[in-house]
A and B are shown apart, each in its own frame.
Chain A
Amino acid sequence: MASSAAAASSEEAVKAAKVLMVGAGGIGCELLKTLALSGFRDIHIIDLDTIEVSNLNRQFLFRQSHVGQSKAHVARDAVLKFRPNINITSYHANVKDAQFNVEFFKQFNVVLNGLDNLDARRHVNRLCLAAEVPLVESGTTGFLGQVTVHVKGKTECYECQPKPVPKSYPVCTITSTPSKFVHCIVWAKDLLFAKMFGDKNQDNDLNVRSNESGMSKSDVFERNADEDLDQYARRIYDHVFGYNIEVALENEETWKNRRRPNPIYICDTLPEEAIWQNGSSRDCNNEQEEPSAMVSLGLRNPQEIWNLADNSRVFLEALKLFFEKREKEIGNLIFDKDDQLAVEFVTAAANIRASSFGIPLHSLFEAKGVAGNIVHAVATTNAIIAGLIVIEAIKVLQGDYKKYRMTYCLEHPSRKMLLMPVEPFEPNKSCYVCSETPLLLEVNTKTTKLREVIDKIIKSKLGMNLPLVMIGSTLVFEDGDGLEEDEAANYALNLEKVLAELPAPVINGTKLTVEDFQQELSCSINIKHSDHYRDEFDEEKEPDGMVLSGWSAPVEKQVTSNGGNQSVASSSGADDTDDIVEDISAKPGMKRKLDEILESKENCDASSSAQVVEDDDDDDIVMLDEDPKLAKKKRLQ
């Protein structure tokens, strides 16, 4: 270890390096600081997000006065204060924007991710592979964290291994048979809240019940012109917690092996308030402050679990406050975990529904965590992970690939270690992203439209943004701007055709070629025709009615309010989680499709126990061997 020579060369490598950071959130703030202190002089940083109050407990480059401003710009300015002589270029933008193409990526010596969602991580992984730039990837949840290194041809890429699968819920669990509090939250947020305050034209499964009852669909939720607000709130309450449950109970089949829910009516929960005041809210909420049902009702502690009566009061009050104070927003509201009144409404509605179904109630604080998919985050873990990223980045700059390590930050020591290095794995030879192995799609080619394959498989599962689909040499679909009008019309026509009836028919054995030019990713999909109908696929496992094999990483998807598919726009640090766990809270302008709702979950794979490969040399390396899939993988030599 010629330490001084090595030190000199590492210093030179750092000075000369041009690095790209994606994300200026929890990990990003720590990383930018540590890079600057470590002697990096040319740092580019991309983040889409603006600063929020709940960021300030760990994103230490930001202050109260910065709330609402661009994370990337503020982080840059803050670091230049203690390192004025370096270059930091900040972009307040989505890393998926076209300007950040392969050419853009090629100018960097290494890319460092401090992202919070799977979608952006996959995108950056593909651009790094295409541009042949090494990637150092990271994530944290609470006290857990990990740093991994991905170098094309030398180590596995980010998508070589299955990622923890986010939970999705069948529609009927949410609409009819909730058994966990999270089901009630999803119902309250994605169905009831959306129905009451969101886009009325959006399809919504909450309608189903009222349709069956023979009532005209939308009237139930519509406030009649001369209807007293208090009356209206009570009518909605009785409808969703009382009447809808009664209707559901009529279907005896459903309750054969389940606990029957209790219909809840306002006259039972708040009998003494049957002729309640006409809106208590008017005096208590002064105009300056954000309207809050908790404030008007004098409920102060968000950690407290309210009883059914309190939840009912909060529900009525929050509903009324929306109509009194925020009427202009009704019809356009999207649930936002930072919207106090929305959180109050959803908490109360979820708790009332939970009461009905015999599910334990939760505090507003807890409900907010579930509804907003808030992931635990602390400054210390982010600081440690940022340090580890820089250590790996320096090795990458020196091209010292035998020394690359994946490092796991653990909560409890394993084999005495709190920080556990593991040798990186070789690329997975059947990875559809970094190898050329074809995928297999089992699908009913006579009933499935091209649109479904593009939306549910190519965009959603394979994570492509602007796909192009070829069958042999026939181009059947292309996305993006710059299409001729007749081309676009032709593709639009193809979208609505079933696979077997496309200009080049897709039948058993057909091979599709799918490409995304922005990601410079191309892959083949072999089609296997299946006579199954949609219903015959297991709804839990394959809600799309198609089975894709040879791929591993699912991605969260959202449906825009106009019905078009669009992946979650969250790029860098899109939410104030810093995380491996992708955040799925709805972004403005988007709505989530119910069967793709994910469950927030601490899915840091660092928690799997790892074992040291024992030998007499103390410089031994650790290898994860609990997971049989991992154990099979070869270690790098």
Chain B
Amino acid sequence: MGGGGGGAEEELTAQETALYDRQIRVWGVDAQKRLSKAHVLVCGMNGTTTEFCKNIVLAGVGSLSLMDDHLVTEDDLNANFLIPHDESIYGGRSRAEVCCESLKDFNPMVRVAVEKGDPSLIDGEFLDKFDIIVVSCTSIKTKLLINGNCRKRSKHIAFYTVECKDSCGEIFVDLQKHSYVQKVGGEPKPKDLTYPSLQEAISVPWKNLPRKTTKLYFAMRVLENYESSEGHGACEASLSDLPAVLALRKDMCDKMSLSESQVPTALLEQLLAAGKKQHPPVCAILGGILGQEVIKSISGKGDPIKNFFYYNAADGKGITEDIPPPSD
């Protein structure tokens, strides 16, 4: 186990100090030690999670496990720099296997492994092996299930989802209860945050949300709802579904007293047209933000995002949204 076990007093090795010199200057030795003891599971390998994996392997987490049994196809090559352009290498192998092989090279001090299986079936003690779980390119149903199971464990497991739809992206964060040290004017102050679950964060009545809430939040909920009602997986809806999606938008907006203009047709069209396409610069941005968030949550240093992050290349903004649980 790379860096696993041992007391907190254990010093970094000379090799670790040399390799991690520049980042220890950013987050300190204690954070580096905590990182080296953290175990991360990523379900779903795509351009965005690939970026994320690169970032945390470089940062020096204890271990990284990849779960994605899908065989590599040509489509997967697009935004993914972990898959060599050579069918003799990737042919007949799963995304997790091929990505794992490349990632191992990035940092010999991190254990990278493949977990075979179906993300929609993971629960129980399996989850206890991890401190961090990141889920991508699966249905909302699977995400809700994993998030719910994480919350049932007595062990604290931080849960994240990330989706990139061409030039737009969304990150969701559930740290359950998170205590960390906040710096206020140079003074360290302990701070506690309580996060809503994914279920809660997507079911809050829209009329309760501030008017300035990003339109992407609503648009993503409409699509999610549509895909789930049609039994689609994530990102499987396409432009031809637009009329049905617009009907659903009307329904949801009416029910929750929100003006339809808050979920613009152009935005829904853009997201549907994206399908599974991921814009590589946006993957880099989302994978970078997510990497930073995971490092913050492991190290207990820095203000974590609560609880959504949105990026849209069209306006260039990277926005955080604090979506509360529904009040009774």
- The CA of A79 and the CA of B81, in the complex, are separated in Å by 8
Which B residues lie within 8 Å of A391 (CB)? 281-282, 313, 316
For residue B122, CB closer than 8 A to chain A, the reply is no
- The residues of A that contact B291 with a CB separation of less than 8 Å are 379-380, 383
Interface centre among B26, B78, B83, B303 (most CB of A within 10 A): B26
- The residue on B at minimum CB distance from A415 is B319
The reply on B258 being an interface residue by CB < 8 A is: no
**A-chain residues with CB within 8 Å of residue B79 when the two chains form the complex:** 37
CA distance A38 to B277 in the complex (A): 12
The answer to whether the Cβ of B280 comes within 8 Å of any Cβ in the partner chain is yes
What 1/0 flags go to A421-454 for Cβ under 8 Å of B?
1000000000000000000000000000000000
Q: Which A residues touch B318, using CB under 8 A?
A: 409, 417-420
Q: Residue on B with the closest CB to A390?
A: B281
Interfacial chain B residues near A301, Cβ < 8 Å: 11
Q: CA of A456 to CA of B112 in the docked complex: distance in angstroms?
A: 54
| Structural contact, A34 and B284, CB atoms closer than 8 A | yes
Cα A626 to Cα B266 with chains together (Å): 35
Query: In the bound complex, do residue B320 and residue A418 qualify as a contact, i.e. CB atoms below 8 Å apart?
Result: yes
Which residue on chain A has the smallest CB distance to residue B25? A376
Report the minimum CB–CB distance from B219 to chain A (whole Å): 13
Partner of B280, one of A390, A418, A419: A390
* Chain-A contact segment, one of B51-59, B127-135, B223-231: B51-59
A143 lies within 8 A of chain B by Cβ: yes
B194 to chain A, nearest CB (A): 19
CB neighbours (8 Å) of A303 from chain B are 29
> Which residues of A have CB within 8 Å of B47?
37
Contact of A619 among B20, B55, B288, B315 (CB under 8 A): B315
- For residue B275, give the distance in angstroms from its CB to the closest CB of chain A: 12
Interface residues of A in 286-307 (CB under 8 A from B): 300-303
- Residue in A closest to B183 when the chains form the complex, CB atoms: A412
Distance of A36 from chain B, by nearest CB (Å): 8
- Chain A residues lying within 8 Å of B311, measured Cβ to Cβ, are 419
B19 touches A56 (CB 8 A): yes
Q: Which residues in window 6-30 of B have CB below 8 A to A?
A: 11, 17-27, 29
> B199 near A: Cβ within 8 Å?
no
Q: How far is the CA of A426 from the CA of B287 in the complex (A)?
A: 33
Give the Cβ gap from A278 to chain B, nearest Cβ, in Å: 28
| A384 near B285: Cβ-Cβ < 8 Å | yes
Measured in the bound complex, the distance between the Cα atoms of B26 and A376 in whole Å is: 5
Within the complex, the shortest CB–CB distance from A491 to chain B, in Å, comes to 44
Binary B-proximity of A53-74 (CB < 8 A = 1, otherwise 0): 1101110100110000000000
Of A1, A380, A418, which contacts B266 at CB under 8 A? A1
User: Do A386 and B19 form a contact, CB below 8 Å, given A379-B55, A412-B303?
Assistant: no
Interface string of A347-390 (1 = CB under 8 A from B): 00000000000000000010001000011111111111011111
Least CB distance from A148 to B in Å reads 13
| A residues less than 8 Å from B117 (CB atoms) | none
Q: How far is the CA of A577 from the CA of B273 in the complex (A)?
A: 40
A-contact bits for B51-83, CB 8 A (1 contact / 0 none): 100110011100000000000000000111111
Q: Is B189 an interface residue (CB 8 A)?
A: no
- Indicate if the CB atoms of A379 and B54 lie closer than 8 Å: yes
A501 CB-CB contact with B under 8 Å = no
Q: Are B317 and A419 in contact (CB under 8 A)?
A: yes
B241 at the binding interface (Cβ < 8 Å) = no
Q: Which residues of B contact A142 (CB under 8 A)?
A: 26
Cβ of B145 within 8 Å of any chain A Cβ, yes or no, is no
Is A413 an interface residue, CB under 8 A from the partner?
A: yes
Chain B nearest CB: distance from A480 CB in Å?
Answer: 38
Query: B22, A386: Cβ atoms under 8 Å?
Result: no
A417 contacts B317, CB within 8 Å? yes
* Residue contact B22 to A376, C-beta cutoff 8 Å: yes
**A1-B266, A411-B302, A618-B212 known; A381+B288 contact, CB < 8 A:** yes
Q: Are B85 and A378 in contact (CB-based, < 8 A)?
A: no
Beta-carbon contact of B284 and A387 below 8 Å:
yes
Q: Is the CB–CB distance between B55 and A383 below 8 Å? A: yes
Task: Name the segment of A80-88, A264-272, A459-467 touching the other chain.
Answer: A80-88
Count A/B pairs, Cβ under 8 Å.
171
Produce 1/0 per residue, A534-576, CB < 8 A to B.
0000000000000000000000000000000000000000001
Give the complex CA separation of A390 and B288 in angstroms. Answer: 15
Are the C-beta atoms of A378 and B302 separated by less than 8 Å? no
The docked-state distance in angstroms from the alpha carbon of A79 to that of B280 is 14
- Contact, CB under 8 Å: A418 / B11: no
Shortest Cβ distance from B26 into chain A, in angstroms? Answer: 4
* A150 interface contact, C-beta 8 A: no
Q: Which of B21, B58, B59, B289 contacts A54 (CB 8 A)?
A: B21
Asked whether A57 lies within 8 Å of B21 as measured between CB atoms, the reply is: yes
Q: Mark B281-314, 1 if CB is under 8 A from A, else 0.
A: 1111101110110010000001101000101011
Q: Which residues of B contact A257 (CB under 8 A)?
A: none
Contact of A57 among B59, B305, B319 (CB under 8 A): B59
The answer to whether the Cβ of B123 comes within 8 Å of any Cβ in the partner chain is no
A405 interface hit (Cβ, 8 Å): yes
Question: Given A37-B78, A58-B58, A618-B215, A377–B285 Cβ distance below 8 Å?
Answer: no
Determine whether the beta carbon of B280 is less than 8 Å from that of A384.
no
Report whether A82 and B85 are in contact in the complex, using a CB–CB cutoff of 8 Å. Answer: yes
Report if A419-B316 is in contact (Cβ < 8 Å); known contacts: A82-B84, A82-B85, A380-B55: yes
> Does A4 make an interface contact (CB < 8 A)?
yes
The distance in angstroms between the C-alpha atoms of A421 and B18, with both chains bound, is 36
Please give the distance in Å from A496's CB to the nearest CB on chain B.
45
Q: Which A residues are in CB contact (< 8 Å) with B105?
A: 63
Please tell me if the beta carbons of B288 and A54 are within 8 angstroms of each other in the complex: no
Cβ–Cβ contact A379 & B316, under 8 A: no
A596 CB-CB contact with B under 8 Å: no
User: Which residues of the other chain, B, contact A4 by a CB distance below 8 angstroms?
Assistant: 273
Q: Which of A3, A302, A419 contacts B285 (CB 8 A)?
A: A419
**Nearest CB of chain B from residue A624's CB, rounded to whole Å:** 15
* Among A30, A374, A418, A618, contact of B289 (Cβ-Cβ < 8 Å): A418
Complex Cα distance, B314 from A419, in Å, reads 13
Bound-state Cα–Cα, A411 to B289, Å: 10
Given contacts A38-B281, A419-B316, whether A3 and B273 have CB atoms under 8 Å apart is yes
Are the C-beta atoms of B279 and A38 separated by less than 8 Å? yes
* Residues of chain B lying within 8 A (CB to CB) of residue A210: none
- Judge if A256 is at the interface, Cβ distance under 8 Å: no
Q: Does A33 contact B (CB under 8 A)?
A: yes
On chain A, the residues within 8 Å of B11 by CB distance are 300-301
Enumerate chain B residues within 8 angstroms of A418, measured Cβ to Cβ.
Answer: 289, 305, 309, 318-320
Is A328 in contact with chain B by the CB < 8 A criterion? no
Verify if B321 is at the interface (C-beta below 8 Å from A).
yes
B138 within 8 A of A: no
Knowing A391-B316, A405-B316, say if A30 contacts B284 (CB, 8 Å): yes
List B contacts of A143 (CB < 8 A): 26, 292, 302
Q: Are B20 and A57 in contact (CB under 8 A)?
A: yes
- A368–B292 CA distance with the chains assembled, in angstroms: 25
Chain A nearest CB, measured from B33 CB (Å): 11
Partner of B320, one of A57, A300, A413: A413
Q: Which residues of B contact A34 (CB under 8 A)?
A: 280-281, 284
Interface contact A421-B315, CB-CB below 8 Å:
yes
B269 contacts partner chain A, Cβ-Cβ < 8 Å: yes
* A4-B317 Cα distance, complex, nearest whole Å: 22
Q: How long is the Cα–Cα vector from A84 to B86 in the complex, in angstroms?
A: 9
Residues of A with C-beta under 8 A to B280: 34, 37-38, 387, 390
- A146 interface residue per 8 A CB criterion: no
In the complex, whether A416 has a CB less than 8 A from a CB of chain B is yes
Sample of 8 further A-B pairs with CB below 8 A, known A3-B273, A37-B47, A84-B85: A54-B18, A57-B19, A376-B23, A379-B59, A387-B282, A389-B281, A390-B281, A618-B214
Ordered by A's residue number, 17 sampled pairs between the chains whose C-beta atoms are within 8 Å are A4-B273, A37-B283, A53-B19, A57-B59, A63-B105, A83-B85, A84-B85, A143-B292, A369-B25, A380-B288, A383-B288, A387-B280, A389-B281, A391-B316, A416-B321, A421-B315, A421-B316
**The 7 A-B residue pairs with the shortest CB-CB distance in the complex, in nearest-first order:** A419-B318, A421-B316, A387-B284, A384-B288, A37-B280, A387-B281, A383-B288
